[in-house]
Amino acid sequence: MKIYSTALFLLLSLFCEVTAQNDKMVLVKGGVYLPLYGAEDKVVKIEPFKMDVLPVSNSDYLKFVQENPQWKKSNIKRLFADESYLTKWKNDETFIGLPNAPVTTVSWFAAKKYCECQGKRLPTMDEWEFAAMANEDVPDAREIETYNQYILGWYETPKTYNNPIGETFKNYWGIYDLHGLVWEWTLDFNSVLISGESRKDVDKDSNLFCGSAAIGASDLMNYAAFMRYAFRGSMKARYSSQNLGFRCAKDVEN
């Protein structure tokens, strides 16, 4: 019986209601960038893509579970989300907090499914990092001190997940909340493996620290980025977290 229901669930999971909601997206033109984990000469090319202007909100997510009941708190399969899934929701259809606060405590499977139901997908880690390099004025603000101080300051501010979406700064691409609100799932969040023992990572994979970059006092940006990679490294696809939400992205149709 259990096997049947799981199979049925998996089958059902292939289909879902496609209702576009809060679907405002902007174009991120793409380009090349040197990620934190890359070697000096290994720049990554980002194809143009579209990204949601805002993270998914509590009310967006409520609509999703109403239309796709197998993702409700009481119906979710443990394979797809552990006990912390929607942990602070009072019941299947009652969230706690503001309707326009970002939805958090959702697993990667749930986030991925949500985006698929919108005809979208989760952004890749490189896409996310590329879009998030921007401040208000320039597409790559990683060398700018105020940009890094802002991010580090946010990492230290408790309970920002209670804030409404769209109230941090609008970046160069027109996207809000990449920094300052909650962490966000990416499609390949676990592709850079950080053991969490950062000193060990130093000798295991020197690419992670690309030579002098980790040592240089000017490289505040690495501290900020490191904490993101460390956070991602601590997660598994079925985990959820109070400070972790998501948004969707999409390929550009030719």
Partner 1 sequence: MKLNLKKIFVTKMLVGLCTIAFLSSCVNDQSDKKYNDTVDIPVNQEMTAELTSPPFVPTPIGKRMAKKLIVDLEIQEREGEMTSGVKYVYWTFGGTVPGSFIRTRVGDEVEFHLKNHPDNKLPHNIDLHAVNGPGGGAESSFVAPGHEKVFSFKVLNPGLYVYHCATAPVGMHIANGMYGLILVEPEGGLAPVDKEYYIMQGDFYTEGSYGDRGLQAFDMQKAIDEKADYVVFNGHVGAMTGDNALTAKVGETVRLFVGNGGPNLVSSFHVIGEIFDKVHVEGGSLINDNVQTTLIPAGGAAIVEFRVDVPGTFILVDHSIFRAFNKGALAMLKVEGEENKTIYSGEIRDGIYLPEGGVIQSMPTAGNKTVKEEIKALSFEEKMQFGKDKYMATCLACHQANGQGIEGAFPPLAKADYLNADVNRAIDIVLHGKTGEITVNGKNYNSVMTAQALSDEEVSNVLTYVYNSWGNSKKEVTPEMVKAVRNQ
Minimum distance from residue 230 beta carbon to partner 1 (Å): 5
Residue 199 engages partner 1 in binding (rule: CB under 8 A) = yes
Minimum distance from residue 198 beta carbon to partner 1 (Å): 4
Residue 235 engages partner 1 in binding (rule: CB under 8 A) = yes
CB contact at 8 A, 30 and 46: yes
Residue of 72, 128, 240, 248 that binds partner 1 (CB under 8 A): 240
Residue 233 engages partner 1 in binding (rule: CB under 8 A) = yes
Give the integer Cα–Cα distance in Å for 150 and 155.
9
Residue 75: helix, strand or coil by DSSP? coil
Residue of 6, 223, 251, 252 that binds partner 1 (CB under 8 A): 223
Residue of 14, 32, 74, 197 that binds partner 1 (CB under 8 A): 197
Residues 6 or more apart in contact with residue 25 via CB below 8 angstroms: 50, 51, 52, 53, 249, 250
Residue of 34, 98, 144, 230 that binds partner 1 (CB under 8 A): 230
Q: 254 to each of 31, 48, 78, 187, 251, how far by Cα in Å?
A: 17, 11, 39, 22, 9
Residue 159 engages partner 1 in binding (rule: CB under 8 A) = yes
Number of residues that bind partner 1 (CB under 8 A): 37
Residue 158 engages partner 1 in binding (rule: CB under 8 A) = yes
Would you tell me how many other CB atoms lie within 10 Å of the CB of residue 28? 26
Helices 145-155 and 220-234 pack at an angle, to 10 degrees, of 40
Residue 200 engages partner 1 in binding (rule: CB under 8 A) = yes
Residue 84 engages partner 1 in binding (rule: CB under 8 A) = yes
Q: Which two tokens stand for residue 176?
A: 């809000």
Residues 6 or more apart in contact with residue 45 via CB below 8 angstroms: 30, 31, 32
Residue 212 engages partner 1 in binding (rule: CB under 8 A) = no
Residue of 48, 119, 153, 211 that binds partner 1 (CB under 8 A): 153
Q: By the criterion CB under 8 A, which residues form the site for partner 1?
A: 84, 87, 149, 152-153, 155-160, 183, 194-201, 217, 220, 223, 226-227, 229-231, 233-236, 239-243
